[in-house]
Structure formats: C-alpha cells, structure tokens
C-alpha cells in the first residue's frame, strides 16, 4: 500500500502544475497500462511485430492484455483481453480521455489490427483489417484522425531480413488510410506534440552504418515537413526512441536504447535548444550512471544500463510514470513513478509474472493545436528550395561559387531478401556493395545559382537525398540521410547541414533561384535509372585499361581492372575497393563528415586518372567514374537475386560446390564473402581457365579438371540465368512473389488516394482480397 499512497500523492501534486496537456488529476484517477512478457530478443529494437510468414514469426509470445489500475484501492480491471493466444498492445487515450485506441492480434495466424474501445469497456470496434499486414502504435490526433505505423509497404531492413514499418494516417472510423512516411526502414512510437506536430522515432541510413541511425523526428499530421529532432548523428545511444513532450515545456523525455536490444534502456529528458545530438541536450537521465555512456562505445553500449526503463509518460516536468525492470537482471517490468529528485517507486507489479508496459493516467488532454493540411492528392510531385548551400556546418573548405550543381538521388526500398548474405558493414542479404547497403537511382541534377540558392521539382513519395557538385561533377558534400515530400508540398532548407538550433539567416525574395521556375528532374548523367557498376563503369576500363590491367599481366598483379565476374562482384570492383583506391563513406560513422573528406575529391583513383599520361579519358567518362565513387562505390542495381540459396545470395555456384572447390584448391572461400578479408578475384566465371584459384594445380591432374568444371558450371549457370549485374536478369520466384505483394499493396494505397481525391470514404473491408 505504501507505493499506491505515494503515487496518489504525487499524481495529485501533478494536478497543480500548469499544462497544455491536462488540467489536473482527480482523486479517482485510473492508470491505463498493458501486460505481457517482454518481447523476445531479436535483430533490432524495432523487431516486436513477429508478423506471420516473416523471418522471426516464431517469436510471437502471447498473451497480452490492456488493464486499468486504481492506485488508491490497488484494484486492477482488465479492459481488453485478447485471449490466451492473443496480444493487445500499444494503448493510447483519446484527447477527451473516454476512449482507448490500441493494436491487437488474436493468434499467431492473425495480424495486428487497430481497435478502439470505451474506457468503460463498451463500444469495442475494429478500425483496420487488411490481411497480411501489421498495424501498430496508434495515436489520436486532436481532430479525431489517427496516426499509426504499419507494414503496408512491405519492405525489409537493408542490414538483414526483417520487415519494416512506416507512418500512416486514417479517419477516426478507419476510413481513407494513406501513407505519410516513406523512409526506407522503420517509423514508430508516434506521439502528438503541443504544437500539433507528430514526434516519432525513425531508423534509416544512407551511406552510414546501421547501428546508430535511429533518432527522433517530427512531421506534420498530413505527412509534410519530416524533420530531424534529436539524435540522428549521435553514435551512442544506438536508438533514441519512444519520446513524449513534457507538459508546459518544449523538452521531451525519451528512451536511450541500443540497436540489438529490446525497446528499453535509460530515460533522458532532452532540451533541444541546447543541441540536436550528444550529451549537451540531456537535462536529466535515469540511471545517472548512463550519462557516462553517451557518445561512448558503439550502438549497443546502452545494453549495459541497469535497471532498464521503457514507455515513459510525463505527469509534470519533474514526475513520470514508466515501465522499469523490477530487478536488474530480470526481464519483468513493473509500473514505476520516478522523479528528477531521485524517487523511483514501484507502483504495481503483475502477480502472475508478466511485465507491465505503457502506463498513463486516464484523463482528458488539454488543447493541442490542429495543424491544417498542406498537401494535395492531385499532384505527383512537389518542390524543394535551398536558400544557401554554403550555409551550414562542415562546409569550411568550400569557397563561395564553388558549388555548381545539386544532384538528387533516390535510395530505393528493399523489397526482398535472401537466406545467405555478404559481410559488408552488416549482413547484406543479398550482397549489394563492398561495405554499404543501398542501391542508388539518380533522379536528376539541377543548377545551383551564384548566391548558393536552388529551386527544383522533386517526385512525391520518394526517399531521396542531395549531393553538392563542383564544375567537374565531383561531389563536395552529401547528406547521408534522406527526406521526402508529399504531393503538392513545398519544402525547403536553409543550407547543407545547417545549425538546427540557431535561427536561420534572413531570407530574401530576390534570391536568384526564386526568379525562375523550378528546375526539373530527369536531367543530367544517369537520371532515371538505378546505378549498375558493371553497366556504367566497367566499359570504361574495358576500353582504356584492361590491355594491361588483366589476369596474368604484370600490371594486373598491381591492379586488376578486368570485367570478369567473381563469386560476389567482379574483378575490377573488388580490386578497386580492397586496394583502397576509392575513398568512400561505406557504412560510415554517425558523425557528419567534412566536405570533400570522401568521394571523388578524396580518392586515389581520381588522382591517378587525372594524372595517368597513357590513359586519356573523356570528360564524360571521368564524370561517370566520379559519380560512381560519389554514390558510395555501389555495385548492384537491384536487391533482387537469381541465386538466393547460394553464397552471398549472388554466386552462381552453390555452397557445396564452393566448399568442394576450396578443398581442391586449398583455399578458404569464406574470405571472399566479407569485405574485410576479400583477397581479390580468385574465380573468373567469364574465363574459368584464368581463375587464380587454379594457379597452383597441375593442369593434367584430376583435381584441376574437377575444379575447372565447377567454375565452368558457374559460367553455364550465368549464361542460362543471369544475375542482377547482368543484362537479362530475372529475379528468383520468391523475389517475384514479394514484388507482386509489394505491387498489390501499392494498388491498395492508390485506391485509398483516389477515394481521398473524390471526397468519398473507403475502408479496409472494401479493399480486402
């Protein structure tokens, strides 16, 4: 009873605090919460869905219920019981405190759908029902609409094989569901801020590592103005998630967690006015010892935190409800009341050993601004404006007038995966590049005016990023993150990595880019197609270099630029990377890189080509090579595979054949399946007899004949079934099936948008197959 009395006293104290979110806490205040076991450990803190048919579906672990606690009496009432095989999760109160919206899955064969129920237990209704997708993390908007996360755009994380989710919006009755987030990985834990924006956590990476690329973002309820809030360039914690704004304050409280962990960790109060990354913004942290971990180690450093906290809910600027582990080495969580003075009191512990999550007081929320829609459903694109590309951090070595062009690049979503992987910065399934994860599609290149301004059209619902180029087409600076625009949206930024805390410089309608119509996409080298190393770059080496730089030639021993396809990539690609002739970001660090610190300006290959007297490349050929380097040295244009069961998801010979080849040649080919140990092309599937792995074998021996036959079988397989770096590539049956599913779900999205254009209502029940 001690804990319940303490909670009641402190909740009553919270009622005295002025707040935009509540006007007080009455004596009969109830606490809404959920019970379940902690999610089973998996690939990432976002891996909590365990969707039917996906790689981790077996980890679905019912039951889970939503309950109400009376802290005065200690009584607990079940509000939603999903049954012994079901889980009800993610409860959130309506603004008036009379209804609860939540996600529920009734069995392993079911999917998570959004439901609503009255706080008195009446009026249960199902709002979403599309089969084969997971709808989670719902939150009410002040106008009655609902934001939630969903797997309705079926795509997978680039560093493994797990299904991802994006933000969606719907009417309060479940009508007219449409996508408002388009980043390539996961968007979740949405909450509404006092000014009407949505605060959410987002995991996405472009030309950087997977582990610390999860921070807090904001977006308008209509999907416009996705903007970084905090933590996008902080190396530790690996995830800044599950945030809520403090009442009467601009500060927020969030979980400081890890990449390869459950969605728990330390709790931190953040003052964004003091910084958008690192320790400077941290006003308070639980436990206090976790402060020493900020910026230290790697993306999993916060796995050390004990006790572990989750689901914070601010009662005032100093008092909070949260889930917290009851014992340091236990996974069971209870409801705790914590404050900035050091109080951490256990309020409720489930007597059956389940964890308690999502605690929040049952009360009406005060006035929150309703933001008007600024998008259209009648357009296919929007416009983007950059005030001054020279304005911002990490641009110290760039002179005014040096930037001549701005390149817009799409980082496409990953729609499929393979069982086997390449060891890049993470598990690329299948292999895509030497170190980084993404393929790239250039959307267009537009001019930058002398005053640093640019104004251009961009396609809607496309995840893209920007690069600044000089007069020769060399990259000066690159975003290493991404953005989107909604149809009809007009978006802009101050400059390149501008300071997001200080006020922007005064703008002027006389800026040169605004005196003309916006530049169009589709112009410049490579526009409109996904970049393929073998198709774009290799022909240049074939024409100018391979007479000398080939298998068996002295120059080839120093640098092999042959086109021959090896186990995963091709000979020239592997040699250029392993010999470090190209300086690329790869799956790079979280920190913003200085201008010209990587890419064509910093690469030895560029210097070599510019100064090689015997090789005269045309300006166009040089620009192609610069572009390839600046796109982070990519290789494959497609995530799809023709050989999903084979090594790295790319090899035309099987694991068993490769193992036998290794035995015959006394070579461990595992080294050829990871960037850090790759020895160069041991195999040539184009000219099997030139394969270096055969060099030590007697050509008259049975071992040589068998080894050669194995490589020749790979050549025959490629002739019959080209892989993704070759003309005539056809994805495997599993990838074609996933592509068909993706297109099916895009047709559902199209149907919903047509209904919105026509001013009518459409529901999941209308579009179900």
pLDDT tens digits, residue range 203-240?
999 999 999 999 999 999 999 999 999 999 999 999 99
Whole-number Å distance between alpha carbons of 225 and 419: 37
Q: What is the pLDDT of residue 502?
A: 67
Res. 680 pLDDT band, cuts 50 70 90: very high
Counting Cα atoms < 13 Å in the Cβ hemisphere of 626 gives 24
Q: Does pLDDT of 311 surpass 60?
A: yes
Select from 157, 167, 247 the least CA-distant residue to 199.
167
Helix 702-720 with 655-665: angle, nearest 10 deg:
150
- The arithmetic mean of pLDDT across residues 28-40, rounded, is 95
Structure tokens at 592: 């913003």
Q: What one-character-per-residue DSSP string does 245-279 give?
A: EPTTSS-EEEEEE-SSS-S-EEEEEE-GGG-SSSG
Instruction: Quickly state the pLDDT bin for 726 (edges 50, 70, 90).
Output: very high
| Token pair 């009641």 in the structure block, residue | 8
Tell me if 391 sits within 8 A of 506, measured CB to CB.
no
Torsions phi, psi of 62, nearest 5?
-75, 170
- Kindly state the average pLDDT of the residues 391-401: 91
Residue 100: band (very low, low, confident or very high) from pLDDT cuts 50, 70, 90:
very high
Mean pLDDT in residue range 523-550: 95
Q: Which residues is 102 bridged to in the sheet?
A: 115
Q: Residue 738, Cβ neighbours under 10 Å: how many?
A: 21
Q: Cα(228)–Cα(207) distance, rounded to whole angstroms?
A: 17
Neighbour count for residue 353 (Cβ, 10 Å): 11
User: For the ranges 11-25, 176-190, 290-304, 606-620, which has the lowest average pLDDT?
Assistant: 11-25
Whole-angstrom distance, CA of residue 625 vs CA of residue 539 = 11
pLDDT score for 649: 97
Per-residue CA distances from 75 to 69, 88, 410 (Å): 6, 20, 54
Q: Specify whether the CB–CB gap between 714 and 653 falls below 8 A.
A: yes
Mean pLDDT, the chain, whole residue set: 93
Closest of 256, 262, 261 to residue 289, by C-alpha: 256
Cα(66)–Cα(82) distance, integer angstroms:
9
Confidence band (pLDDT; 50, 70, 90) for 500? low
CA–CA separation, 18 and 22 (whole Å)? 8
End-to-end CA distance of the chain: give it in Å, rounded: 53
Percent of the chain having pLDDT more than 70? 94
In this structure, what token pair is assigned to residue 646? 């084979």
- Residues 485 and 381: their CA atoms lie apart, in Å, by 7
pLDDT tens-digit profile of 593-638? Answer: 999 999 999 999 999 888 766 668 999 999 999 999 999 999 999 9
User: Residue 366: its pLDDT value, please?
Assistant: 77
In 3D, which of 3, 4, 14, 8 has the Cα closest to residue 318? 14
Question: How far is the C-alpha of 600 from the C-alpha of 604, rounded, in Å?
Answer: 8
**pLDDT band, very low/low/confident/very high, at 312 (cuts 50, 70, 90):** very high
Query: How many other C-beta atoms can be found within 10 angstroms of the C-beta atom of residue 135?
Result: 31
Q: Cα separation of 478 and 469, whole Å?
A: 9
Strand partners, 493: 386
412-441 mean pLDDT? 96
Please write the tens of the pLDDT for every residue from 685-722.
999 999 999 999 999 999 999 999 999 999 999 999 99
Closest by alpha carbon to 247, among 198, 199, 315, 184? 315
Q: What is the CA 267 to chain-centroid distance, rounded?
A: 22
The average pLDDT across 48-60 equals 97
Q: Is the pLDDT of residue 578 over 50?
A: yes
3-state secondary structure of 549: coil
In whole angstroms, give the CA distance from residue 615 to residue 542: 12
Residue partners of 611: CB distance under 8 A and separation at least 6: none
The alpha carbons of the chain give a radius of gyration, in whole angstroms, of 28
């Amino acid at each position: 009873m001690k804990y319940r009395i303490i909670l009641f006293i402190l909740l009553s104290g919270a009622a005295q605090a002025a707040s935009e979110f509540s006007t007080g806490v009455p004596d009969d205040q109830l606490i809404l919460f959920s019970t379940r076991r902690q999610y089973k450990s998996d690939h990432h803190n976002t891996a909590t869905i365990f969707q039917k048919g996906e790689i981790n579906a077996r980890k679905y672990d019912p039951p889970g219920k939503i309950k109400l606690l009376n802290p005065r009496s200690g009584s607990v009432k079940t509000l939603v019981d999903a049954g012994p095989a079901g889980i009800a999760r993610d409860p959130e109160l309506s603004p008036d405190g009379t209804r609860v919206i939540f996600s529920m899955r009734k069995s392993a064969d079911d999917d998570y759908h959004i439901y609503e129920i009255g706080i008195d237990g009446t009026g249960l209704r199902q709002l979403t029902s599309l089969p084969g997708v997971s709808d989670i993390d719902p939150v009410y908007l002040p106008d009655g609409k609902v934001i939630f996360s969903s797997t309705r755009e079926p795509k997978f994380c680039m560093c493994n094989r797990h299904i991802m989710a994006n933000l969606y919006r719907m009417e309060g009755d479940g009508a007219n569901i449409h996508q408002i987030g388009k980043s390539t990985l996961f968007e979740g834990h949405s909450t509404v801020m006092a000014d009407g924006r949505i605060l959410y956590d987002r995991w996405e990476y472009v030309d950087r590592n997977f582990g610390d690329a999860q921070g807090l973002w904001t977006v308008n309820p209509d999907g416009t103005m996705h903007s970084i809030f905090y933590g996008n360039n902080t190396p530790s914690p690996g995830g800044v998630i599950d945030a809520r704004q403090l009442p009467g304050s601009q500060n927020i409280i969030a979980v400081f967690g890890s990449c390869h962990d459950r969605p728990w960790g330390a709790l931190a109060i953040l003052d964004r006015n003091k910084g958008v990354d690192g320790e400077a913004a941290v006003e308070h942290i639980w436990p206090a010892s976790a402060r020493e971990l900020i910026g230290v180690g790697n993306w999993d450093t916060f796995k050390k935190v004990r006790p572990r906290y989750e689901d914070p809910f601010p009662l005032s600027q100093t008092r909070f409800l949260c889930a917290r582990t009851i014992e340091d080495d236990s996974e069971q969580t209870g409801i705790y009341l914590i404050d900035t003075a050091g109080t951490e009191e256990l309020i409720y512990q489930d007597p059956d050993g389940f964890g308690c999550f999502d605690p929040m007081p049952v009360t009406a929320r005060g006035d929150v601004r309703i933001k008007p829609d600024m998008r259209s459903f009648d357009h296919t694109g929007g416009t983007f404006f950059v005030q001054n590309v020279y304005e911002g951090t990490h641009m110290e070595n760039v002179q005014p007038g040096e930037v001549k062009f701005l390149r817009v690049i799409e980082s496409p979503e990953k729609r499929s995966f393979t069982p086997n992987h390449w060891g890049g910065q993470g598990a690329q399934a299948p292999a895509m590049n030497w170190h980084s994860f993404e393929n790239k599609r250039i959307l267009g290149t537009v001019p930058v005016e002398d005053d640093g301004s640019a104004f251009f059209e961009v396609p809607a619902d496309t995840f893209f990023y920007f690069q600044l180029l000089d007069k020769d087409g060399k990259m000066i600076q690159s975003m290493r993150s991404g953005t989107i625009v909604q149809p009809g949206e007009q978006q802009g930024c101050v400059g390149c990595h501008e300071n997001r805390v200080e006020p922007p410089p005064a703008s002027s309608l006389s800026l040169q880019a605004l005196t003309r119509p916006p530049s169009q996409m589709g112009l410049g080298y490579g526009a409109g197609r996904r970049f393929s190393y073998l198709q774009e770059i290799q022909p240049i080496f074939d024409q100018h270099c391979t007479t000398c730089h080939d298998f068996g030639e002295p120059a080839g021993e120093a640098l092999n630029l042959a086109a021959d396809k090896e186990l995963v990539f091709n000979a020239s690609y592997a040699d250029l990377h392993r010999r470090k002739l190209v300086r690329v970001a790869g799956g790079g660090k979280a920190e913003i890189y200085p201008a010209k610190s990587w890419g064509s300006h910093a690469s030895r290959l560029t210097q070599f080509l510019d100064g090689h007297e015997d090789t005269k490349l045309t300006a166009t050929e040089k620009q192609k090579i610069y572009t390839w380097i600046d796109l982070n040295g990519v290789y494959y244009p497609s995530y799809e595979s023709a050989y999903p069961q084979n090594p790295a998801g790319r090899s035309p010979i099987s694991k068993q054949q490769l193992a036998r080849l290794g035995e015959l040649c006394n070579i461990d080919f595992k080294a050829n399946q990871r960037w850090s140990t790759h020895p160069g092309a041991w195999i040539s599937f184009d000219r099997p007899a030139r394969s270096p792995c055969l060099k030590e074998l007697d050509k008259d021996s049975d071992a040589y004949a068998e080894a050669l036959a194995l490589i020749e079988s790979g050549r025959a397989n490629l002739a019959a079934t080209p892989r993704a770096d070759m003309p005539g590539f056809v994805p495997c049956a599993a990838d074609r099936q996933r592509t068909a599913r993706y297109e099916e779900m895009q047709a559902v999205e199209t149907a919903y948008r047509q209904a919105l254009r026509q001013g009518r209502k459409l529901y999941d029940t209308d579009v179900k197959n």
